[in-house]
Amino acid sequence: MDAAAGAGCPRCGEAFPEIPPVTTPSFGGRALRRCLRCGTRVAWSGSAGHVVFTCECCGLPFLAAALLPHAEQRCEECTAGRVPEELPDHDISAAAENEVHDALASRWRFVTSPVAQPYLDRIARSVAARIENAPASVRVVLVAAPEHRTLALPSGMLLLSTGLVEFLEDEAELAFVLGHEIAHAGSGEVAVRLVRLGFRATARERGASDGLCWTDAAVDLVRLGYGRKRERDADARALSALLALDYEPQSAVRYLERLHGAAERSDPSVAETIVAHAAPHDRTRRIERALYGRIPGAEVARVNREPFRRAAGRTALRGSLVPTELSGPHGTSWSVPAVFESEGKMLRTGVLIAAALAAAGLVALATWLLL
């Protein structure tokens, strides 16, 4: 175990779990760990650690040398008064998603299943119908990876790793996981974070045009999440969708308890999920508090364990997976509408031009585009 893993949490003193650390482009390869007791995140560089916060204004992650009170959890840009608009222009958001598609298509391996795919899409649509402002068209894209990995994109594309699907035990758990990601997309958080992280990566890489900037943005989004407040809200909205669809809400609790157990066993597959989201016990407590005193309805809540196992369980999934392109396993394009293709070309041209500018100029360009 390295020195960072053996160090105590700066907030509660609890030892960090021994699961492999997570690294993100935003923090230059620092090792990220989350305390399973209080949820504090620390980014380590050698034996030195900095606390990871999510800015209360712009929503981007930043580092601080010490614990900050809630009122002071702002990044340097926002503290200096350079707060971007709450939402990016729709065309820019769509062009950014196109860049992410191109970047991930060459770095992640996508698969589909003739049995699981229709089932996953159907559940995603039923959950989205119960979440306010959910994207009009949601669809699930499977990523061949043992790590638990989820990423919602503004258009409604939900990237879900095969390792996570195999970890789930019933349809109610699947609905909770999908609902959590759909809630992020429905609130507009995905578009905001994706565009801001992409431009920040562009500034950091000085205009690299090989797609790394947008891959970095996607990786940051997967591994850093949206901050404690936004993650809690996504859990609450996912839970409401479960109740509206008459799923057994305790399935969400069972999923989180297994997730906590996997972290305690140092299972490397859960490292990204643990770092990106609030501590599983905190999430469980809040769900149980929301359910306290609730009177069950006349109908028996369902989990649909057998339908899930037949369509997407471990045995069914592994036996039916075939490689596919990100452009879509159903023979239809999953890219954003063609009307935004010109915006994507404009954005790529802007990135190339930005290569000749200093870092300060790139940041100014990013701010101008967001405003």
- The first and second tokens of residue 69, run together, are 């009170």
pTM given for the model: 0.85
Give the closest residue to 230 by CA, choosing from 289, 196, 198, 185.
Answer: 185
Looking at residue 297, its pLDDT comes to 55
Whether the predicted pLDDT of 311 surpasses 90? yes
Q: Which two tokens stand for residue 210?
A: 């090989």
At 52, which helix (H) or strand (E)? strand 48-54
Confidence category of residue 7, pLDDT binned at 50, 70, 90: confident
Residue 340, pLDDT score:
29
Average of per-residue pLDDT across 87-93: 73
pLDDT category of residue 253 using cuts at 50, 70 and 90: very high
Q: 348 pLDDT exceeds 50? A: no
Q: Locate all alpha helices (DSSP H) within 111-170, ordered by sequence.
A: 116-128, 162-167
Average the pLDDT over 267-295 and give the result.
93
Question: How far, CA to CA in Å, does 256 sit from each of 32, 276, 282, 314, 343?
Answer: 21, 14, 10, 19, 40
Q: Are 334 and 326 in contact (CB under 8 A)?
A: yes
* Residue 198 confidence (pLDDT): 85
pLDDT higher than threshold 50 for residue 113 = yes
Instruction: Report pLDDT digits (tens) over 297-306.
Output: 545 689 999 9
Q: Is the pLDDT of residue 88 over 90?
A: no
Query: Quick one: tokens of 147?
Result: 């790590």
Q: What is the pLDDT of residues 25-51, one digit of tens each?
A: 989 889 999 999 999 999 999 888 999
